Structure 1
Amino acid sequence: MYVITDQLKEDGFSTNRLDYIFKRNNGIRKINTLEYYSIYIILENVRINVEGQVLDIHAGNMVFVGPQKNIEFSNCNGNNILAIAFSSSFYERSLKDSLLLNSQIFFNYRSQIFISPLLHIDEMRVIFLDRMERFKNKDKTLYISAAHNAIERLILDAFSHITDEDVKKNVQFDYLYYANRFKVLLQRDYKEFKKVSHYANELNISSRKLTEMTEYILGKTAKQIIIEKIVDESKRLLQHSDYTISQISYELGFTNEGNYTNFLKKHTGKSPSMIR
């Protein structure tokens, strides 16, 4: 019988190499996901049998498996496959979280599992194998928060690979898709473009529609999200770089230091020197 880890019982979340799970279960390679959601980071080729559906998965992919699935692994050692498991109560903190858990990623009507390319492989190794372990040993609350954020990143990466046809079958998923695309575009363009209209044009929707979507999914207007992004980047540069305030204002796309200072005062109540 497959035995879940004590950590999964206690925290509602666990991450382990697959070979450790095999060893813990006396060499048994069959797993039932029970009420848990699972993500497998595949860094070696593996054959997976899920509810009778057999698939060969190549290294460099992620596999998403919903609750109550029987899954068996073969043709692998398991030492280069990371198994992440978590409960709905661990992950669901907002409407967006609930939509993600109930999307085609974990409840795929075309297949027993959802497969997505693994982006930023080296970075994911650091997050799940090194950083998570440090957080676990340092602070439980920080560890749980870091785990949630790391899982969300993997799910959002996978969500971008759901076909447009599938997304548009449900208006809520449609909103989630556009809200996620907006966040990706913002990361790329926030230094140069600070108006909602730019991102709406990039997404081929109206500014009003984009704001409606972000308010529904993220609980904030598109303008608020843009402002928060610039403020967060400002704090990061002011507190963790040797740049002058003038250099930071230029780095963040402001025409001059005065405009940048006025922006921060308006949205934080503090001048750049006070934040630094």
Structure 2
Amino acid sequence: MYVITDQLKNIGFSVNRLDDIIKRNNYTRKFHTMEYYCIYIFMEDIDLEIENIPYSVKAGNIAFLGPEKQIVFGKADGHQILIIAFSSSFYERSSKDSLFLNSQLFFNYYTDLFIAPFLNTEQMKVVFMERMEAFQKKDENLYVSAAHNAIERLILDAFLYIPNEEINKDVKFDYLHYVNRFKILLQRDYKSEKKVSHYACELNITSRRLTEMTEYVLGKTAKSIIIEKVITEFKRALAFTNFTISEISYDLGFNDEGNFSNFVKKHTGKNPSEMK
């Protein structure tokens, strides 16, 4: 994401203005979220790109971005944009917290950036700058608690904009941690690793166990989730880049365009050229 601050390293949470982050990183506007979850509070308009997909976000919106994503900020001043970054270990204290992190806010196949409106700009400034600074100066434990509560408030407000069927799931909360980690690993490795066994090994569980968990939580096998991810990224590349099918197939980890065409045909019923 950027040069990691001591605060983010030590407690797993930080809140900064975008212009401060850009200045600290030699004025680069391209970042990677790494293992962190990010919430952006936009109090000015900005154009940006996430995984090469363009977005235009108006002031008065809040956005959620999951781990292992690349983001490029446009040429807004940045002093009216707050960036909250936190780790899963910082936020997860209960099964409810795990459900929040595993939600459509941070893991959404339709859009990498989940955007929801907020109403009170001045309140955002008070909560995430003035109060956070006051708590930080007073006591670290209070600061951590205040940060957790503030993040939860933003998440709960944004949940109003998630379809009910995505929220009202009867899930085994002990599965959520593994499915959540699987999604993060998939975002990191989908170009090079397309076997369930790779992700199961990373999680120190069996492939069968991982599939049992994804079927319960998401209603899909782990293999189908991997395939869906590759197909989704192919469609995005077709729609938003000028890459040829051969270049896209290579970028997605296929050494032979013929193998890629067979893969797409098998799982979509169409040749890659028919999906433009």
TM-score when normalising by structure 1: 0.60
- Which residue of 2 is the match for residue 136 of structure 1? 136
1:150 match? 150
Query: Which residue is equivalent to 2:260?
Result: none
Alignment match, 1:55: 55
CA distance in 2, matches of 1:165, 1:6: 39
AA matched with 2:164: D
Corresponding letter in the other structure for 1:41: I
- What is the match of residue 30 of structure 1? 30
Q: Which residue of 2 aligns with 1:5?
A: 5
Contact 2:40-2:62 within 8 A present in 1 as well = yes
SS at match of 1:171: coil
Corresponding residue for 1:111?
Answer: 111
What is the root-mean-square deviation in Å for CA atoms of aligned residues? 1.5
Count of paired positions:
172
Q: Distance in 2 between matches of 1:3 and 1:89?
A: 20
Residue 172 (structure 1) shift: 4.3
State the distance in 1 between where 2:108 and 2:119 align: 21
- Residues 187-266 of structure 1: pairs in structure 2 closer than 5 A: none
Distance 1:159 1:172 in 2: 17
2:46 alignment counterpart: 46
Q: State the shift of 1:165 in Å.
A: 4.0
Amino acid at match of 2:110: R
Shift of 1:158: 0.6
What is the deviation of 1:120? 3.0
The residue number in structure 1 matching 2:161 is: 161
Sequence identity percentage: 58
Residue 73 of structure 1: CA displacement?
A: 0.3
**CA separation in 1, counterparts of 2:163 and 2:76?**
30
Q: Does 1:171 align with 2:170?
A: yes
Q: CA deviation at 1:48?
A: 1.4
Q: Provide Cα deviations, 1:79-127, integer angstroms capped at 9, x if missing partner.
A: 0000000000000000000000000000011101100112332222111
SS of residue in 2 equivalent to 1:59: coil
CA deviations over 1:16-59 (Å, ceiling 9, x no partner): 00000000000000110000000000000001100011000000
**Matched AA of 1:151:** I
- Can you give the 5+ residue segments of structure 1 that lack an aligned partner in the other structure? 174-276
1:2 CA displacement: 3.2
Q: Distance in 2 between matches of 1:120 and 1:74?
A: 24
**Structure 2: 5+ residue stretches without partners:** 173-276
Distance of 1:65 and 1:47 partners within structure 2 = 15
Q: Please say if residues 48 and 73 of structure 2, whose CA atoms lie closer than 8 Å, have aligned partners that are also in contact.
A: yes
- Structure 1 contact 48–54 (Cα < 8 Å) conserved: yes
Aligned-pair distance for 1:163? 1.7
Partner of 1:71: 71
Is the 8 Å Cα contact of residues 2 and 28 (structure 1) preserved in structure 2? no
Instruction: Give the Cα separation in 1 of the matches to 2:104 and 2:121.
Output: 23
Q: CA deviation at 1:166?
A: 3.2
- Deviating beyond 4 angstroms after TM superposition, the runs of 4 or more aligned structure 1 residues are none
CA contact (8 A) 2:40 2:83 kept: yes
Output the amino acid matched with 2:106. F
- Maintained 8 Å contact 1:16/1:82: yes
Report Cα offsets for 1:142-173 as digits up to 9, x if no partner.
000000000000011111110234335x3349
Letter of the 2:93 counterpart: R
Question: Where does residue 206 of structure 1 map in the other structure?
Answer: none
